[in-house]
């Protein structure tokens, strides 16, 4: 027994197909590898992972980056460092606060 897709699922599938198709086409045009060191999958994984620690830091400190309110507390932002995250597409270097 198969389940028919709802209108929202069908639209989502078309958008996903166009998005992925666009990425693959762009990678081909730019002569990028899809996988491996520096490949498209590694680059996209980095873009997905990096914002999370920044958001966590904002929640923890209670203020955004460069917000003057952050200068009054005992904790403050003091730069970033590189951390390597092991993923299914290989190691990905991300900047964390």
pTM comes to: 0.58
**Structure confidence at residue 83 (pLDDT):** 93
pLDDT in the model for residue 93: 92
> What is the rounded average pLDDT for all residues in the chain?
80
Q: How far apart, in Å, are the Cα atoms of 26 and each of 5, 30, 40, 70, 82?
A: 29, 6, 10, 41, 27
Does residue 42 contact residue 57 with C-beta atoms inside 8 Å?
no
Burial class (CB in 10 A: 0-12, 13-18, 19+), 97: middle
Higher pLDDT, 8 or 33: 33
For the cut 50, the answer to whether the pLDDT of residue 1 exceeds it is no
Q: What is the pLDDT of residue 64?
A: 77
Over residues 39-58, the pLDDT tens digits come to 888 888 999 999 888 888 88
According to DSSP H, which parts of 6-39 are helical? 7-29
């Amino acid at each position: 027994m198969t389940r028919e897709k709802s209108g929202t699922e069908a639209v989502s599938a078309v958008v996903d197909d166009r998005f992925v198709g666009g990425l693959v086409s762009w990678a081909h045009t730019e002569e990028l590898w899809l996988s491996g060191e520096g490949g498209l999958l590694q680059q996209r994984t980095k873009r997905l992972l990096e914002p999370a620690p920044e958001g966590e830091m904002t929640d923890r400190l209670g203020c955004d980056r460069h917000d003057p309110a952050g200068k009054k507390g005992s904790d403050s932002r003091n730069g970033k460092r590189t951390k390597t995250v092991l993923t299914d597409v290989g190691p990905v270097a991300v900047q964390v606060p």
